[in-house]
Amino acid sequence: MFGIGLSGFIATLALALIFTPLVKKFAFRVGAVDVPNARKVHSRIMPRMGGLAIFSSFTLVVLLFLAFIPHNLMLAYNRNLIGALLTGGTIIVLLGALDDRFDLNAKLKFLVQIAAACVVVFGFDIRMNIVNIPFGSAMQPLGDWVAIPLTIFWIVGVTNAINLIDGLDGLAAGVSAIAIGSILTMGVFMNNGTVVLLSILLLGSIVGFLFFNFHPAKIFMGDSGALFLGFSLAMLSMLGFKQVTIVSFVTPLLIIGVPLSDTFFAIVRRKVNGKPIFTADKGHLHHCLQRLGFSHRKTVLIIYSIAAFFGACAVVQSVLSARGLGNWVTFVVICVLVFLLQIGAELIGIVDKTRRPVINFIARLLAKPHPDSRGK
């Protein structure tokens, strides 16, 4: 198993190194470029469609594995899950590539994403059919009337979450790589060969692409990359843990904690300011950090650290869950993370630069009483 994984990682990494320069030339040729504007942080025309290199290297190696690995070894892998990821991923990548070139209508993109999720649910019979209710006695089964819309919502939501943080060189790719690394770690602990293999191959393709995408980037992944990585994260987190009775549903939420929290705060920020939730702005996490004076590279590395913290929490939570401590650990982790997220959001002004309700409340609690008021 280790030899197969290592060879697959090297193969996808090498192919990504080969494909990315070719995709860069192709993007310029077809006009799939990102032109600077007031909201963008780059100052020159950049090629998009980098996601094609990630997807091509990953898919090619997966197909080679399916074709040439001996049948007795492939029995350890779930072909249905692999087929669902490749089929749905192909739809998503084609959608993203067309958007990179033609800037498609948001409603059309949303409908195609729902269609890709429906292919996974109805074509491959994959859905979240059980859920762990905190402090419950066992996993609770879900009827199709709940499982189907929940699965579609999860896939579409996570697919778009990665796209929202794709604002700096190497940011979306690096955060995705960290999240996939967390899934890989838990897949090893749970002996889930399919998730381990797919995570290793995807990780290799992302690392290869990052050689060209980290600051200063030579190519952007575009929607073809961000949507595909989001879709892959949605699938791997769901496929890896939906049937494991010892792991709470909060685990995959922790894995994608950075894009999920950034999306949540973006919705709140736009609601507070009376703007449509789909209106683009410069209030995301990376924008706030740069306004505080951090450089492009340092901002990305800080967000990498936050993503790694979320991933470590997910791994610890899942490991302790296996030892019967999952409910209490989940409760404590959620409380601590929500508190830290709120404090962090108020400090950097991700929702509103002037409103700091929690920080002000804590300050009042810690404030010393005025000497003249003690005797009254």
Average pLDDT score over the chain: 84
Task: Round to whole Å and give the CA distance between 235 and 159.
Answer: 9
Range of the domain at 260: 2-373
Which tokens in the block code for residue 294? 């951090």
Q: What is the pLDDT of residue 98?
A: 97
The residue behind tokens 């890989």 is: 184
User: Is the predicted pLDDT of residue 368 greater than 70, yes or no?
Assistant: no
Query: Using CA atoms, how far apart are residues 295 and 292, in angstroms rounded to an integer?
Result: 9
Q: Is 160 annotated as a binding residue?
A: no
At 277, the pLDDT band (50, 70, 90 cuts) reads confident
The angle at the Cα of 341, spanning 335 to 346, to the nearest 5 degrees, equals 130
Question: In one letter, which amino acid is 336?
Answer: V
Residue 242, pLDDT score:
47
Quick one: tokens of 345?
């959001």
Number of domains observed in the structure of the chain: 1
pLDDT at site 249: 58
Confidence of residue 224 (pLDDT cuts 50, 70, 90): very high
Residue 376 pLDDT > 80? no
What's the CA gap between 186 and 196, in Å, rounded? 9
How would residue 248 be classed by pLDDT, with cut points 50, 70 and 90?
low
Cα of 67 vs its chain's centroid, Å: 29
CA distances in angstroms from 327 to 130, 149, 282, 306, listed in the order given: 16, 26, 38, 24
User: Rounded to 5 degrees, what angle do the CA atoms 159, 165, 170 make?
Assistant: 105
Q: Where are the beta strands (DSSP E) in the chain?
A: 33-34, 46-47, 130-132, 139-141
pLDDT exceeds cutoff 80 at 281:
no
CB-neighbour burial class of residue 365 (10 A; exposed 0-12, middle 13-18, buried 19+)? exposed
Instruction: Give Dmax (Cα) for the chain.
Output: 85
Identify the band that residue 231 occupies on the pLDDT scale cut at 50, 70 and 90.
very high
CA atoms within 13 A on the CB side of 123: 15
The pLDDT value given to residue 247: 45
Which pLDDT belongs to residue 319? 73
List the beta bridge partners of residue 132: 139
Q: What is the pTM of this model?
A: 0.86
Nearest to 196 by CA among 101, 282, 76: 76
- The secondary structure of residue 278, as a DSSP letter, is T
Is 144 annotated in a binding site? The answer is no
Q: Report which DSSP code applies to 369.
A: P
> CB under 8 Å to 42, separation ≥6 — which residues?
34, 36, 169, 217
Tokens standing for residue 174 = 């690096």
pLDDT at 48: 93
* 121-137: pLDDT as tens digits: 999 988 876 555 544 44
